[in-house]
Amino acid sequence: MSERKLKVGVLVSGSGSNLQALIDACAAPDHPAEIVLVLSNRPGVRALDRAEAAGIPAMAIDHKLYADRATFDADMQKALDEAGVEFICLAGFMRLLTPEFVEHWSGRMINIHPSLLPSFKGLNVQQRAIDAGARFSGCTVHYVTPEMDVGPIIQQAVVPIHQNDTGDTLAARILVQEHRIYPASLRWIAERRVRIEGERVFLDGATPPDAALLNPAPEQAD
């Protein structure tokens, strides 16, 4: 008999394409995690429809109805506890969390961010990477710590920035990679292969890539 699956809660605010990638990955019978609750701070978003279509309990807790972050986070905590959530994935969740909530889930909450952290924390990061003249950007899966977009990094994917990129074209290129690395990182965690040591994360049995990327590409093969 297979071992018990890790019970995951996914926090969303919008379209939920990363949620979809997690749903699709967890649908595999041998996947070691299951999504038991999807929580949105915004009612009516597409992410909630995606959860419902997959038969996953989904709920909106509208942050606009709360006077402060602490009571909003407390209600989220209650819903997560009632669903038996053991681990949280933030998937396009665009709300700051209180230090108390983050501390409670320390080592048990991860986020995906559309830049190569520690560069370009915060918002509008694809356009900011272009404006800064970066030749590469990408995405990062990391543990959540009280400081925004800072925690130990589990996995990153790199994409080139093209000369004619807009924030939207770069975001779309990055999103394709987000959908690869987020489910992969969650699987590793659920398989208990991931270890945090200080600022660094180690993966048992990791395969280190050896290819270097150049942008612009060299004009002839070496």
Among 175, 181, 186, 201, binds ligand GAR (CB under 6 A): 175
Residues 63, 69: Cα–Cα separation, whole Å: 8
Q: Using CB atoms, what's the residue nearest to ligand GAR?
A: 92
Is residue 181 part of the contact set for ligand GAR (CB under 6 A)? no
Among 16, 32, 152, 160, binds ligand GAR (CB under 6 A): 16
Q: Pick from 51, 112, 141, 190: which binds ligand GAR (CB under 6 A)? A: 112
Judge whether 114 and 126 are in contact, CB under 8 Å.
Answer: yes
Selected binder of ligand GAR within 6, 83, 91, 194 (CB under 6 A): 91
- Least gap, CB of 81 to ligand GAR (angstroms): 24
Site for ligand GAR in 20-49 (CB under 6 A): 47
C-alpha dist (Å) from residue 8 to 5, 67, 119 = 9, 28, 28
113 labelled catalytic: yes
For ligand GAR, which is the closer residue by CB, 36 or 126?
A: 126
Q: Residue 92 or residue 151: which is nearer to ligand GAR going by CB?
A: 92
Q: Give me the active site residues, please.
A: 113
Q: Which stretches of the chain bind ligand GAR, using CB under 6 A? A: 14-18, 47, 91-92, 112-114, 175, 178
